[in-house]
Structure 1
């Protein structure tokens, strides 16, 4: 394809209890809640966006927390691991920090020259912290829970699990990603200049049962484009190639299209603009429930249906 993504925009997963979700991602992982809104297709459910100070594309992990939903199942046709980038000398600190928070971790392994620490969030979503030896220049969210010199920088990569790699690899190449190497049954592809935030690993596990998307699993993975005209051109190219793709959808903070790669994972192409300061100041991000204009007439009903959510003051430190 003539259009290429520069890297990951966000990863969206399904959580359980929203307060437990916020406590873990804010206090344990030290991310910032940059937007408190609702699932536009299911307004009785929160949509929580976590990221760096401004919620820049590439830093974002988002959740639909459905307390009553059953536990999902990791398997083929899913993004099975979401990885965050941390400073090169901080993996040991994170292992100890997570142990203090009573989070069970795997052993530290070295993969492609990077130290990797894997663990699950409270709903069973598999996460990893990855320390790139050359570092990551992206600025962390400086808060009171994790020291800035140890803090998560942004997304590092995602892992797609498939039973066969050929068709998935072909589509990733069509999306502008480059094959970067293979380690046993793991194939690495990179976008743009590569490095943290621009990596997808394809894990090939023949015979693995299909995953079930529900609590503790990834719903979709989003890739970046700079603006709507680029997105529209990409959509036309996908349609020309016979890919079933949605119309362009207004997500208030970006515009989106969705389609599935041949292995089964739902992918999104999201614009970098307009961003999360479009409806509230930077210092107040995440503080109040924000609704798109078409849902504002139903605000009272929506607020009544949503569970209570308490945020730590560190999410908006200059306002307290």
Structure 2
């Protein structure tokens, strides 16, 4: 009996030592992964406020060198930047609201077990994940329905992503018991009452996840504005930033459009500004997305895990 207790104690001690070793190596591994992920972001941030010459010499590694706001002054001096920033905020907020409403409505419908057309609509949605009409047919359709050079095209384009729809459908199926629907029907509720009074309040987690997904997609969308918008006052931030980055480069004739350089010295200065402005553009364009994720982080992990489980 005593020998058995000693064997169990030794085994427990061995397992405890193994667990400690595992936790130590696991912690070291994930610290290294975190550094590998965060360092490029940190480097972009310190490079955006460093002297362009120091960046060129490779001196900006761990901290800013000769702090300078030269790049930020170059891009903030662009007359259309603030207006496009406001446009992107409006487009993102409106697009996220519309996308969440449409996605959750479709997800709720497809989650109903007695919906007779569920299989057909599922196949229809999945089909669009792999096949599309192409750029030119889509452009012609948007033009025919009056969305060309219309700011609504940026809000409505890509309102529903099939992957997000499937995640939301799975979340509703697995997280909201069907018995709640039966109880609501006994109390005289219809589908609209049940959706707005029961499903939506219980779907805050997946709403946060969809807000992050759609918000990032809308905020980073430059292509829609580039193809479908010709009125410059309607352009989103990403399209304008793309133009700024392009105009800060040297064209074939050696002229700098933004700096209007007229000498070799001014061209050299413009090249330095272009070098640091690239980092400033990354900071300006990604800042709101990082803030959005920080606020939604506590819902994000839970919603993705629940919504990704196969129902």
Place the TM-score, normalised by the shorter chain, in its bin.
under 0.3
Q: TM-score, normalised by structure 1?
A: 0.24
Q: TM-score, normalised by structure 2?
A: 0.24
Larger Rg, first or second structure (1 or 2):
2
